[in-house]
Amino acid sequence: MNTLDQQTALEQAARKRIKDSHALNEDAGRLAHFYRGWASSYDLDVGRDGYCGPMIVAELAGAVQTAYLPRPRTAIAILDAGCGTGLVGVELERLGFRLIDGIDLSEEMAEQARKTHVYRHVQGDIDLNGPLSGHSSATYDITICCGVFTLGHVRPEALRELARVTRPNGFIIASTRKSYATATSFEDEVSRLQDAGVLVTAQCLKDGKYIAEEGAHYWVFKVPDRACAETEQQL
């Protein structure tokens, strides 16, 4: 096999792995098992497939901080929900953020994230499809969820818990693969949460670059100040 054939074979294997990850039916046991086996080669595989989601969500976080948040980047608390091996954390650190926590279902992915040394704290065995019971409300200025609202992974309903742990007037930044957004009617859940005063869509970059196979939508949600939201509803 020549070098070109080897490269093609590696790219095909990476694509198969990525595709297989979409068939795990949101089953926590299967997801954890799958990512346990992928943790050591994940970065190489997604890099081969042109994955740029982490850079885009981090740059959105930078724009949100500059445009809206009163404190400097070094004082902005960020939760990287579904942090994986830490690709988002590395981009955030490059942009000057320093208070970054990570959570993930897979302990092995979380361990890779710890090795980047850009996180303040990383916790594995956290299922975003359930309540984040170990996490206090209104803790983070920005909550990021990249590559996690993906087929077979995390349901759109998880947005409610992400909003709960985010501070009033803070932001949630999330990517949704196009196929996921359509299959799960993600926008319907966004409308329900918006009607309930849980979040407001501040920006959406539709059909941005994500990975070779397909694009993604990038969402910026604002978590409203409860007192203001309640007053507006009464008017």
Stretch binding ligand SAM (CB under 6 A), from 28-36, 60-68, 195-203, 224-232: 28-36
Nearest to 173 by CA among 55, 86, 72: 55
Binding mask 150-169 for ligand SAM (x = CB under 6 A): x--xx---------------
Decide if 102 contacts 38 (C-beta within 8 A).
Answer: no
In angstroms, give the least distance from the CB of 231 to ligand SAM.
35
Number of residues that bind ligand SAM (CB under 6 A): 24
Nearest to 48 by CA among 14, 88, 6: 14
Sheet harboring 77-81: ordered strands across? 121-123, 99-103, 77-81, 140-149, 166-177, 214-222, 200-211
In angstroms, give the least distance from the CB of 4 to ligand SAM.
27
Stretch binding ligand SAM (CB under 6 A), from 5-13, 141-149, 195-203, 212-220: 141-149
Q: Which is nearer to ligand SAM, 106 or 143 (CB)?
A: 106
Pairing of strands 166-177, 214-222: antiparallel
Q: Which is nearer to ligand SAM, 31 or 173 (CB)?
A: 31
Q: Distance of CA 10 to CAs 2, 7, 38, Å? A: 12, 5, 14
**Tokens 């850079």 sit at which residue?**
55
**Tokens 């969402």 sit at which residue?**
219
Q: Which is nearer to ligand SAM, 126 or 223 (CB)?
A: 126
- Site residues (CB under 6 A) for ligand SAM, limited to 101-120: 104-106, 109
* Whole-number Å distance between alpha carbons of 209 and 31: 25
In angstroms, give the least distance from the CB of 17 to ligand SAM.
10
Residue nearest ligand SAM by beta-carbon distance: 84
Which chain residues interact with ligand SAM by CB under 6 A?
28, 31, 35, 53-54, 82-84, 87-88, 104-106, 109, 126-129, 146-148, 150, 153-154
